[in-house]
Amino acid sequence: MRDILPKNIARPGKPVINIFKYPDGVPCIYSWVIDMTRKLLSGDRSMLFPENLCRDGEPFQPDLIVHLGMKGRPQPGYVFETLARKEGYNEPGQDDIPFPREMTEPGGEWASLPDKLFTDLDVQGIRDAVLAAVPVSTAESPSETCGKYH
């Protein structure tokens, strides 16, 4: 999916949307994803830009970060999620290591976050537009069970 996205989307009378893609596949390993999230939110441009595009002192400040998650069992495909959960994630990652519960416990890095983060985006509309452009296997409708694995 990442590889078929354009580098930008020009919209008449509106700012161009620049799409910066992480260059490698993302493993389903909690420690890797948590570390990657920290790096993305750090403003470090070198993660997504070749050296010649990194300007000294200029942080990477995206307006929106989109995570395209793979649907696991029982059938593969992509899932368009309507929310992110702080809790759940009961299945181990590809490395057979479970989600680190200490992240959400008192004093943990995610302890002060809300239980759920919702989006104002039209997830159903996004799903429909993606499916019209790219035939991929996906859920019948956007998922509200992020992290619950059912």
pLDDT tens, residue by residue, 21-72: 777 777 888 999 888 888 878 877 766 665 545 556 666 777 777 766 666 5
Find the Cα–Cα–Cα–Cα dihedral 136, 141, 144, 149, rounded to 10°.
-50
pLDDT tens, residue by residue, 109-139: 999 999 988 888 888 888 787 777 776 655 5
Peptide bond into 74 cis (omega under 30): yes
Domain map of the chain by residue range?
A: 2-133
Rg (CA), the chain: 17
Residue partners of 90: CB distance under 8 A and separation at least 6:
98, 99, 148, 149
Only one residue has tokens 């989006």, namely 119
Residue partners of 21: CB distance under 8 A and separation at least 6:
2, 5, 48
In this structure, how many other beta carbons lie within 10 angstroms of the beta carbon of residue 55?
Answer: 9
pTM higher than 0.75, yes or no? no
